[in-house]
Amino acid sequence: MSLSIGIVGLPNVGKSTIFNALTRQKVDAANYPFCTINPNVGCVKVPDQRLDKLAEMSKSEKIIHSTIEFIDIAGLVRGAHKGEGLGNKFLTNIRECNAICHILRHFVNENITHVENRISAKDDLEIINMELMMADLDQVNAKLKAIKSDNAYKELFQLLERIKTALDNSTLIKDLELTPEELILIREYNFLSAKPCMYVFNIAENDLNKTKEQILTEAGLKLDQDKVILVCGKMEEELTQLSEQEALDYLKNFNVEQTGLQKMIIAGYKLVNYISMLTTGPKETRSWQIINGFKAPQAAGKIHTDFEKGFARVEVIYWNDLLMVGGWNQAKEKGLVRMEGKDYIVKDGDVVVFHFST
């Protein structure tokens, strides 16, 4: 299953425009609230030059990239958790995502109205976060009521009470210091404010040379800059009319090295702690999404569940080492292919061959 990122924001902040640009799909991006009625899903490949090089070496018939689903969710408004606008339906759509991407409007355009009649990324983020927290609070209160008298849920009840207190004090669940065991206890509830988030500032073209720090200062926000992305939605949309190489050449004129899509993919991977392991051969060269820290059997299970159950060992070499010697047989002859067991932690860029017993 590919990584899914829900794109959220208030109406008319540029969500659908950015979605169109990032996925090169066309959905309505009209100048009125609730233009996006159903969530639009764009499945895009994760660009990875390592695959092209390995495929050329292996003379692979095809290349299969990892993918990310970007889900454009209708604009939320103040009171969405109570059903305002198109509220509850779209809060449900967010629950299914691995992570949330906040689109925050920083550009000024008098022809594109803002639902709150002002431009303030800080206020927009506060409204969205409040709606997420209030929806979670409704869910927590319902669960607390259901398990209040059941001793079998004593540990969960205490944890939910702690979460309720945090939400009552406008603290996002993801900002609580929960243990791995506590996170497992609440995993099934898919709390909205527990999801990892990144923040895309939709900026004007004349702000392209500004730093993240400058934009955050102008917006009056303090956010982790590793989770902040600056994108000019208007320019990204124009780039869809160009080839991939033409788009990159055009961006260089603005001293921009990556498209908005590439920035979001990199940030998305870091956000959910994903890395890519690789396989290569005559039939295909392929990247596989795994969680950083996966041991070899878990990584094998991403290819096929039987591989995890019957895992015996894994042959592994770093992709560039394999490329330098020109092939798997040459790498074996030079002793560069390692044989690892069940405790081996797969690294980003590892080229693997799994062995399993039936």
Which of 236, 270, 304 lies at the terminal end of a domain, its last residue? Answer: 270
pLDDT tens profile 150-163: 888 899 999 999 99
Average pLDDT, the chain: 86
- Judgement on whether residues 318 and 266 belong to the same structural domain of the protein: no
pLDDT tens profile 100-134: 999 999 988 777 766 667 789 999 999 999 989 99
Rg of the chain taking only CA atoms, in angstroms? 23
- Judgement on whether residues 184 and 258 belong to the same structural domain of the protein: yes
Instruction: Please report whether residue 287 resides in a domain.
Output: no
Residue 288 has pLDDT above 70, yes or no: yes
Min mean pLDDT across 42-51, 84-93, 227-236, 298-307 is at 84-93
- Judgement on whether residues 169 and 218 belong to the same structural domain of the protein: yes
Q: What is the mean pLDDT of residues 329-335?
A: 95
Instruction: Please report whether residue 219 resides in a domain.
Output: yes
CATH number at residue 59: 3.40.50.300
Q: Beta strand 3-8 with 99-105: parallel, antiparallel or unpaired?
A: parallel
- Judgement on whether residues 204 and 101 belong to the same structural domain of the protein: yes
pLDDT tens profile 230-263: 998 888 888 878 887 788 788 888 777 777 777 8
- Judgement on whether residues 300 and 236 belong to the same structural domain of the protein: no
pLDDT of residue 267: 85
- Judgement on whether residues 124 and 215 belong to the same structural domain of the protein: yes
- Judgement on whether residues 30 and 152 belong to the same structural domain of the protein: yes
pLDDT of residue 80: 52
pLDDT of residue 246: 85
- Residue 106 CB neighbour total at 10 angstroms: 24
Number of domains in the chain: 2
Using CA atoms, how far residue 159 sits from 5, 164, 206, in Å, is 27, 9, 48
Which of 209, 238, 270 lies at the terminal end of a domain, its last residue? Answer: 270
| Structural domain span for residue 328 | 293-356
Closest CA to 122 of 111, 130, 133: 130
- Judgement on whether residues 117 and 159 belong to the same structural domain of the protein: yes
Alpha carbon distance 3, 22 (integer Å): 15
DSSP string, 10-64: STTSSHHHHHHHHHT------SSTT---S-EEEEEE---HHHHHHHHHHT-SEEE
Q: Could you tell me if 45 and 65 are in contact, meaning their C-beta atoms sit under 8 angstroms apart? A: yes
Q: Which residues pair with 70 in a beta bridge?
A: 5, 42
Alpha carbon distance 338, 328 (integer Å): 12
For the chain, give the percent of residues with pLDDT over 90: 54
- Judgement on whether residues 203 and 341 belong to the same structural domain of the protein: no
- Judgement on whether residues 219 and 256 belong to the same structural domain of the protein: yes
Instruction: Please report whether residue 278 resides in a domain.
Output: no
The pTM is what? 0.83
Q: pLDDT higher for 166 or 22?
A: 166
Residue 330 has pLDDT above 70, yes or no: yes
- Judgement on whether residues 75 and 12 belong to the same structural domain of the protein: yes
Q: Report helix, strand or coil for 6.
A: strand
CATH number at residue 352: 3.10.20.30
Q: pLDDT higher for 35 or 322?
A: 322
Q: Could you tell me if 36 and 13 are in contact, meaning their C-beta atoms sit under 8 angstroms apart? A: no
